[in-house]
Amino acid sequence: KQEVTQIPAALSVPEGENLVLNCSFTDSAIYNLQWFRQDPGKGLTSLLLIQSSQREQTSGRLNASLDKSSGRSTLYIAASQPGDSATYLCAEPQTGANNLFFGTGTRLTVIP
Amino acid sequence: DTGVSQNPRHKITKRGQNVTFRCDPISEHNRLYWYRQTLGQGPEFLTYFQNEAQLEKSRLLSDRFSAERPKGSFSTLEIQRTEQGDSAMYLCASSWDGQETQYFGPGTRLLVL
């Protein structure tokens, strides 16, 4: 059974702290993984997509890594800001299909 | 082009009524997806179109749900005889062949009383 797990479900950090969000997946044949941001009551914004042939992708203060062998991806946020407060979701392609299979997300609060 | 748009943004209806949502994808995108998201959960896949063809449907898509994309552009999702359990955010996403990133709309939040 395909599973994507994000722990913790919620995280609070003081402004300026560096932090890591975790995503675990069971599909060893994964060919890419995406990280999204979702603000309350809003749609999803794509942050980073990592191909299975890559180990890292960077965009500004965000860095995402992918380790197929351990079934884990991390999203690193440097120098966190209150504007980073949101829910962060990871997703992989559903096995044998075209749609995405999502984790339940980590709700991040950055305290000023 | 301003991205994926969805209408209405909010819908409140009484149990047993029919509702219809619309999604306008990014204009050059031929792939369109519908997802449903309940509070505290990640989005769950409902159905997928490539151009006007509905190629995949989730088991979540009961007989009361129907989706169309008649001209391969906008799509509609209809729920007949709504139930309280249908209350959720309905998200639409689009992408282009060979492009793995999916672009999401703002969603339609449905509340069934």
Tell me what the mean pLDDT of segment B45-69 comes to: 93
CA atoms of B43 and B109, how far apart (whole Å): 13
Token readout for A18 is 């560096």
Comparing CA positions, the residue from A44, A100, A32, A106 lying closest to residue A75 is A106
Check if the beta carbon of residue B16 is closer than 8 Å to that of residue B80: no
Check if the beta carbon of residue B90 is closer than 8 Å to that of residue B36: yes
Put simply, the answer to whether A41 touches B100 (Cβ < 8 Å) is no
CA atoms of B113 and A2, how far apart (whole Å): 33
- pLDDT range class, residue B1, cuts 50, 70, 90: low
Residue in chain A closest to B50 (alpha carbons) equals: A98
Ranges of H-type helices in A8-106: none
Instruction: Give the residue numbers in B contacting A (CB under 8 Å), as ranges.
Output: 4, 6, 31, 33, 35, 40-45, 48, 50, 55-56, 58, 89, 91, 93, 100-107, 109
- DSSP string covering A6-54, please? -S-SEEEEETT--EEEEEEE--TT--EEEEEEE-TTS-EEEEEEEETT-
Q: What is the pLDDT of residues A10-41, one digit of tens each?
A: 999 999 999 999 999 987 778 889 999 999 98
Chain A residues in contact with B35 by the CB 8 A cut-off are 99-100
- How confident is the prediction along chain A (112 residues), in pLDDT tens digits per residue? 888 999 999 999 999 999 999 999 987 778 889 999 999 988 999 999 999 888 899 999 999 999 988 999 999 999 999 999 999 999 998 887 888 999 999 999 999 9
Average pLDDT, chain B: 94
Check if the beta carbon of residue B26 is closer than 8 Å to that of residue B101: no
Peptide bond just before A8 cis, omega within 30 deg: yes
Q: How far is B80 from chain A (nearest CA, A)?
A: 24
